[in-house]
Amino acid sequence: MTFVSILLALIAEQFRALGRNNPIFDIVRVLGDRAEHAFDTGRPRDAALAWLTVVLPLTLAVVIVHYLLSSISIALTLVWNVLLLYLTLGFRQFSHYFTDIHEALNRDDLHTARTILHEWTGLDTVEMPVSEIVRHTLEAAIVAVHRHVFGVFFWFLVPIGPGGVILYRTAEYLSRQWNSPSNERSPALGCFAAQAFYVLDWVPSRLTSIGFAIVGNFEDAVYAWRNHARKWNDAVNGILLASGGGALGVRLGAPLAEDDSSVILRMSVAGVDYAPGMDDGSDPVPPEFGSDPGVRTLQSAVGLVWRAVVLWMILLAMISLALWVG
C-alpha cells in the first residue's frame, strides 16, 4: 500500500498541484502562531512546550484516524494516505519558480530571473550575475526537493505512516518560520525548532544525499560530502548541497578560504608540506572540484532529481513486494 499511495499522490500532484497556502499549511500556521503567543517566554523549556503543542496534536490525530480507517477498510486507508501525501508532498509547490527562472535565463531575461529568485528565496538579487542566479536556484531547488519529496518518502515509511509525514512537515515549517526575522519572537523558539528538525532530518538528509550520489557522479558527490559540506552554516543543508553539487559535477556554495602566499612560503621554509588551512591550526582545506554551474546545469538537475525519484520508487516497490510475498 505504501508504494501505491505514493505513486497515486505523485500522479495527482502532477495533474493538479496545491499551492503553498493549502489546508495543512493554514492549520499549522494558525497553531504555530497561537503557540508562539502563548508560550514564548524566552526559556528553552517553554520553547519545547510550544513546539509540542503544535506537533503532537496534529501527529496523534492523523495516526488515530489512520488506524481507525485501517480497521474498517483498506480502501479507506488508501484514500486517507493518498490525501495526506497529496497535501504534504510534491514538486509543484516550488517547481514553478525553478521552471520560470530556467526559462527566463534561456531568453537572457536576467531581470525576470532575478525577480523570481528574490520572490522564492528572499535574497538580494539586484545586479546578480547569471552564475550566481544559477547557483542560488540550484541550492534552493536541492533543499526544496528533499524537504517536499524525499524527506516525506522516508517519514511515510515509518510505522506511524502518514503521522510521520505530518510530524516531519510540521517540524520543517516551525524550524523555518520560528527562525525568520522577528523583533517579537525570542531566540529560544527558533533554536529549539531548529534542533528538533535537525534530529528528524538527520537520517532522511543522508539517504537523499546517497541517492544523489548513486544516480549522479558518485565519486564527486562523496568527495564533496566529505570535504565541502562545511561551506554552509546549516549542517543538514551542507550535506545535501555538497552531495547534490558533486553529483552534478558543479561547485555550489562560496569557496572555502585558502591561505595566502606568505603562509605557503613560511611552511616551505620550515620544511613542511603545505596544505590550505595550516596557518590557523584547522584541518587542511581540500581543493575545490567541478565547474561553475551554468544554465544547462539547471536541466541536468531536473534529470538528477527524477532519477533519484525513480530510484526511491524502485526501492519502495521492492520493499512492498517483499512484505507482500512474506
Inform me whether the pLDDT recorded for 26 exceeds 70.
yes
Grid cell listed for 96: 514553478
Q: In whole angstroms, how far apart are CA 101 and each of 115, 278, 295, 302?
A: 9, 41, 10, 13
Burial environment of residue 78 by CB neighbours within 10 A (0 to 12, 13 to 18, 19 or more)? middle
pLDDT at 310 over 90: yes
Count up the domains in the chain and report the number: 1
Q: Say how many C-beta atoms besides its own lie within 10 A of residue 32's C-beta.
A: 22
Measure the CA–CA gap between 11 and 181, rounded to whole angstroms: 36
CA contacts within 13 A on the Cβ side of 77: 17
Least confident of 56-70, 227-241, 263-277: 263-277
Mean pLDDT of 42-54: 93
The C-alpha angle 199, 169, 249, rounded to 5 degrees, equals: 75
State the DSSP string of 24-41. HHHHHHHHHHHHHHHH-S
Chain-centroid distance of CA 193 in Å reads: 16
Residue 268 has pLDDT above 90, yes or no: no
Does residue 280 form part of some domain? Answer: no
Q: Band of the pLDDT at 323, cuts 50, 70, 90?
A: confident
User: Does residue 264 fall inside a structural domain?
Assistant: no
Q: 131-158 pLDDT, tens per residue?
A: 999 999 999 999 999 999 999 999 998 8
Residue 111 CA to its chain's centroid (Å): 27
pLDDT value for 276: 45
**4 contacts 158 by C-beta, under 8 angstroms:** no
Neighbouring C-alpha atoms within 13 Å toward the C-beta of 76 = 9
Neighbouring CB atoms inside 10 A of 37's CB total 11
Q: How many CA atoms lie within 13 A of 247 on its CB side?
A: 28
H helix intervals, the chain: 2-15, 23-39, 44-72, 74-88, 95-106, 110-121, 130-145, 151-157, 162-177, 187-215, 218-228, 235-248, 261-269, 295-325
Q: Evaluate if residue 75 carries a pLDDT over 50.
A: yes
d(CA 214, CA 218): 6
Model pTM score: 0.86
Q: What's residue 102's pLDDT? A: 94
pLDDT > 90: percent of the chain? 57
Residue 267 lies in a domain: no
User: Does residue 261 fall inside a structural domain?
Assistant: no
Q: Is 105 helix (H, G, I), strand (E, B) or coil?
A: helix
Name the grid cell of 60: 496523534
Domain region containing 64: 2-251+288-325
Cell (9 digits) for 227: 570535504
Confidence of residue 112 (pLDDT cuts 50, 70, 90): very high
How large is the average pLDDT for residues 259-275? 42
Q: Which comes out higher in pLDDT, residue 254 or 122? A: 122
Whether 273 maps to a domain, the answer reads no
Flag whether 279 is in a domain. no
| 97 is a domain residue | yes
Strand partners, 291: 250
Query: What's the Cα-to-Cα distance from 230 to each of 204, 224, 259, 275, rounded to whole Å?
Result: 18, 10, 17, 17
Instruction: Report yes or no on 258 lying in a domain.
Output: no
